Amino acid sequence: MNNSIPLSRTDLTDLIRNKSKEIGFSLCGITPAVTPTGFSDLKKWLDQGHAGEMHYIENRLDAYEDPRKVMEGVKSIIVLASNYSSKEHPSLEKNEGRISRYAWGELDYHDVIKKKLKTIAGVIHTHRPECKTRGVVDSAPILERDFAQKSGLGWFGKNTMLINKKEGSWFFLSAILTDLELDYDNSHETSHCGTCTKCLEICPTDAFEAPYELNARKCISYLTIELKKQVPIDLRKGVSDWLFGCDLCQDVCPWNHKIPENQKIIFDTPSPLTKINACELLEMNGESFRKLFGKTPLSRPKRAGILRNAAIVLGNRGQHDSVPTLISSMNDEEPLVRGASAWALGEIATPEAVNALEARLLLENDPEVLAEISQAINNIQKKK
């Protein structure tokens, strides 16, 4: 039982801020748990169909509007940022593909951050044993970005990312909901993007309908992570060498060039997952895939999604020595992998690739894969 004199609201707020900094959070902001100002924009975005297959957003729409539907009695939201990278992408070698910086850690960032949230929640409960808290990392229908802006952590960039003057946009957002009233920060009302449009211009799939408006259906991150179907043919070239996610619109942001090189990041150990050989991916069975990626964000698209991406990367890179691997992967148990491999072979279009496509056309029984093979063969014939 805690017999010490209870901390005042201000002292408890200061303790939370200090503890968050001590255990490695880059930023901490606190705001009332009210309807986020961006909720109407979310509804409009969904009505426009920009969410694609992310139906979980629409299914939980009521909760996004009212934080009390996420945790009953919530009064305050503590928003925390964890910096994840100020390093450059490594140069690619033959048949390799890129991984978005946020997935470079050997562990899933959800697990790393959740432990830190529990530490802060423990501090709160030590001084307010009767209170309620809930830590969330992409696990609840909370518009973290809106609450981060409301708690003073930054502004919305034209690429829809939250940007902070000192941290850029290379950070994860997480939150602790509590039924305590705390001291609140002022909202960040100004934007510091000026006339810059580098983030909009760099996107190879034209995912930005306008400044501050992202059509997720065209976004490389969505295509390589969230989309469970085949990547639309007209967007595959834009995917280029991205195996998982995309950093382009953040890479060119001037605010991300101002981060100190000695910035403490959440992943403090070197990771092998900065780039991956796409041929090696296509040779993985389910067990080897789970062993390598089961505890990382790369498990989200599952084996079929990652191998689909690997085939697209190989098709875009166009290296002839990847043809035997792609031919082999046309026998994969997953239609998604077979179809993407057929497309890739059509892009490389060596005589060996053409022969393999024609042979597979006689064996394939999946209608979508058959269509991929036929189109690949037709495209090769048009090029002759």
Positions marked catalytic:
138
Indicate if the alpha-carbon torsion angle 364, 370, 376, 382 is positive or negative: positive
**Which letter, b or e, does each residue of 145-181 get, where b requires 16 or more Cβ atoms within 10 Å of its Cβ?**
bbbbbbbbbbbbbbbbbbbbeebbbbbbbbbbbbbbe
CB 176 within 8 A of CB 67: no
Q: Which of 237, 207, 241, 209 is nearest to 222 (CA)?
A: 207
Within 10 angstroms of residue 243's Cβ, the number of other Cβ atoms is: 26
Are 203 and 248 within 8 A, CB to CB?
A: yes
Which residues are within 8 A (CB) of 193 and not within 5 positions of it... i.e. 6 or more apart? Answer: 155, 157, 158, 163
Q: Which residues of 131-141 are buried (b: 16+ CB within 10 A; e: fewer)?
A: ebbbbbbeebb
What H or E segment, with its residue span, contains residue 214?
strand 213-214
Q: Which pair of structure tokens corresponds to residue 299?
A: 């498990």
**Cβ proximity of 31 and 175 under 8 Å:** no
| CA atoms within a 13 Å half-sphere pointing along the CA-CB vector of 41 | 12
